[in-house]
Amino acid sequence: MRIDRAALADLATGAAFLGSGGGGDPYYAMLLGEAELARRGSFELVTLDVLADDALVVPCGWVGAPTVSVEKLPSGKEAMAGLLRLETMLGRKIDAVMPIEIGGSNGLAPLVAAAELGVPVVDADGMGRAFPESQMAIFNIHGISACPSVVTASSGSLTVIETSDNVEHERLARALAIALGGIAHMVEYPLSGAQAKAYAVPGSISAAIAIGAAIRQARAAGEDPFEALFTALWEGGLYSHAGVLFDGKITDLERETRGGFSVGRIVIEAFDGQSRVEVDFQNENLLARRDGRIVAMVPDILTVMDRETADSITTERLKYGQRVKLVGAAAPAMLRTERALDFVGPGAFGYPDAYVPIEQLNGWGA
């Protein structure tokens, strides 16, 4: 499969939704991709099954607070620099790259570097959505080391991280991102082809493209883009349930950059003033309570969207007065296992509540 200009725009739309509010706004990454398309033509996208077992597959993406990325733009050279350094360290060429997370800007992050390296992007990722911390990748859940890892700043400065513990790796990378201005690019979790095939979330890039295409086509036809979104999610199979959780206006917003994260809470009130929903976020939207009752929780996807256009609104772009729909979707099944929930469930974010699937919380049918 090739990713052309139309598919790139669809990928940006779909990745913004799958980011659950995080991963960074994909707009600038899309502009970089469009410029690369003009220079080299379409991007190559391959499925996991074509990888040789001994291939070197490298995930990459951005680490830091998305609020910073709105004003501190990347140079566009960070990913390439990190990947080349990793090749030097490992003494071999990289065979393919993939996003560490499909959500937001990170869903598009590997495209330009892959084209410059002359390698394909794998139709997969390491999270099936976006999560705020590196050790929440599916690869860590299965015991794969994040290291050697390379962190690159927009200035060109480059740092190699070597640790035996992936939580320590996250802390070091986060501290570096803060020191480098709040955000940096990171190459991490170098994989063999066999490991990628065994553990990566398959088909997530093509799922994001399908989501974006469905929304675009519905808008053009004057149809409901939300219904088109839900149909695309269901038909793709990776995200089995989805629906609107709330419809209203943002009436309160608390947001700060703390510890390398964008942290806060929003309140959305119904237009008749009779109901409200509160959403907590740490880069990504984590948990929603409607009138005090939980209606969605991590790892399920929770995205605030413009109620007219179905544009996803990342947490750094939330504003008082926006008229929105809060949309939820079931996370991929591999994120809902008992072991995975230890890393990405409510308890991993300090919530005392046990995980309950979004379809059970809202009475959605099979």
pLDDT for 76 beyond 80: no
CATH class label, 2-202: alpha beta
| Whole-Å CA distances, 251 to 57, 143, 248, 311 | 45, 43, 9, 19
| Whole-Å CA distances, 256 to 155, 164, 274 | 25, 32, 29
Mean pLDDT rounded to a whole number for the chain: 94
For 306-317, write each residue's pLDDT tens digit: 999 999 999 989
pLDDT at residue 66, rounded to an integer: 67
pLDDT at residue 68, rounded to an integer: 64
Question: Can you tell me the mean pLDDT for 47-74?
Answer: 85
Q: Check: CB of residue 346 under 8 Å from CB of residue 297.
A: yes
pLDDT at residue 304, rounded to an integer: 98
Verdict on whether the full-model pTM lies above 0.85: yes
For 101-121, write each residue's pLDDT tens digit: 999 999 999 999 999 999 999
- Supply 86's token pair: 């990793």
| Whole-Å CA distances, 165 to 127, 136, 180 | 19, 13, 22
CA angle 334, 337, 343 (to 5 degrees): 90
- Fold held by 239-362: CV3147-like (2.40.390)
For 266-279, write each residue's pLDDT tens digit: 999 999 999 999 99
- Supply 192's token pair: 């063999």
% of the chain with per-residue pLDDT over 90: 86
pLDDT band for position 67 (cuts 50, 70, 90)? low
pLDDT band for position 70 (cuts 50, 70, 90)? low
Q: Check: CB of residue 327 under 8 Å from CB of residue 226.
A: yes
pLDDT for 221 beyond 80: yes
Question: Can you tell me the mean pLDDT for 124-145?
Answer: 96
For 248-298, write each residue's pLDDT tens digit: 999 999 999 888 788 999 999 999 999 999 999 999 999 999 999 999 999
Question: Can you tell me the mean pLDDT for 37-64?
Answer: 95
Distance (Å, whole) CA 272 – CA 83: 52
Question: Can you tell me the mean pLDDT for 194-216?
Answer: 98
What is the residue-wise DSSP string for 249-266? EEEEEEEEEETTEEEEEE
What is the residue-wise DSSP string for 95-157? -EEEES--SGGGGTTHHHHHHHHT-PEESEESSSS--SSGGGSHHHHTT----SEEEE-TTS-
Minimum mean pLDDT among 131-140, 236-245, 255-264: which range?
A: 255-264
Residue with tokens 């379809």: 359
| Whole-Å CA distances, 72 to 20, 280, 311 | 22, 25, 23
Say how far residue 102 (Cα) sits from the centre of its chain: 4
pLDDT for 366 beyond 60: no
Q: Where are the domains of the chain?
A: 2-202, 239-362
